[in-house]
Amino acid sequence: MNLNSQLGVSVDCVLFGYNGDAIKVLLIQQKTQNGGTLQESGLQMALPGDLVMPEEALSECAARVMQELTSIEGVFLKQFQAFGDPERVRKKKDQRWLETFRESPNKRIITVAYYALVSLQEYKPEASSFAGSTQWVDFDKIPPLAFDHNAIFNHALLTLREHIEPHHIGFELLPKKFTLSQLQHLHELVFDKKLDKRNFRKNVKRMNHIVPLDEKQTGVLHKPAQLFAFNPEAVSE
């Protein structure tokens, strides 16, 4: 038996974005062969993902998925989990689309999941390849998705909560120059809890990797706040 004919590997990406008000997740609507979208066909939205090419490394596939389906390049990508339920792509709700695009729609697919982080001020996705459109959705309002993508998203959110402080990855979601209010608000959203402003700022000021700048916000109606920047070289091991 040729194992390669019975088993495929894919990569799926959970792209988190922050705009200063909300954390969002990028979803795609996959195109049908006639140029329509899944919404028009009564099917679901999905996370960006694709099969891994024979000579392609997993990390290369993750970068290609982001570039080909959303036109986003050069973002932070971190592998976090594999999903291998034998039935994960065989549900009736998913077969309609797979039968349109895959030679072997019932083939078992193991997927390796990555999460990605961007500041929405700096990246604007554009759908391409088999993505008919892209949509930023609030991370607490994710609809039912194709395949097992809701489970993949839920695991990505748990991983983000585990990684954001020890790995200092939250700064990937912020603009290069940010306020302490933006930093606190981001953490409150991720952990779904209110943080004490005084204690938060006291802790931040002990961190050498958060650098105060001689700059303030511009173009705001309220009193401009001081801006800060992240210096990865000053992170303590």
Sign of CA dihedral 107, 95, 147, 102: positive
What burial class does residue 232 get, using C-beta atoms within 10 Å of its C-beta: 0-12 exposed, 13-18 middle, 19+ buried? exposed
Contact 63, 102 (CB under 8 A): no
What is the full per-residue pLDDT of the chain (237 aa) written as tens digits? Answer: 444 567 899 999 999 999 989 999 999 886 665 555 544 555 578 999 999 999 999 999 999 998 888 888 888 999 999 999 998 988 887 877 777 766 777 788 999 999 999 998 777 665 454 455 788 999 999 999 999 999 999 999 999 999 999 999 999 999 999 999 999 999 999 999 999 999 999 999 899 999 999 999 887 777 889 999 999 998 865
DSSP assigned state of 52: P
Domain 176-234: CATH architecture, name and number where available: Orthogonal Bundle (1.10)
Pick the CATH number of 3-163 from 3.40.640.10, 3.20.20.210, 3.90.79.10, 3.40.50.620: 3.90.79.10
Q: Give the pairing type, strands 108-119 and 7-18.
A: parallel
Give residues with Cβ within 8 angstroms of 92, minimum separation 6.
none
- Residue extents of the structural domains in the chain: 3-163, 176-234
89-99 in b/e form (b: 16+ CB < 10 A) is: bbeeebeebbe
Q: Give the pairing type, strands 210-216 and 131-138.
A: unpaired
| 93: three-class secondary structure by DSSP | helix
Give residues with Cβ within 8 angstroms of 55, minimum separation 6.
none
Which spans in 164-225 are helix H? 180-191, 197-204
pLDDT at 72: 85
- Structure token pair of residue 86: 């034998």
Other C-beta atoms lying within 10 Å of the C-beta of residue 158? 12
Q: What is the pTM of this model?
A: 0.87
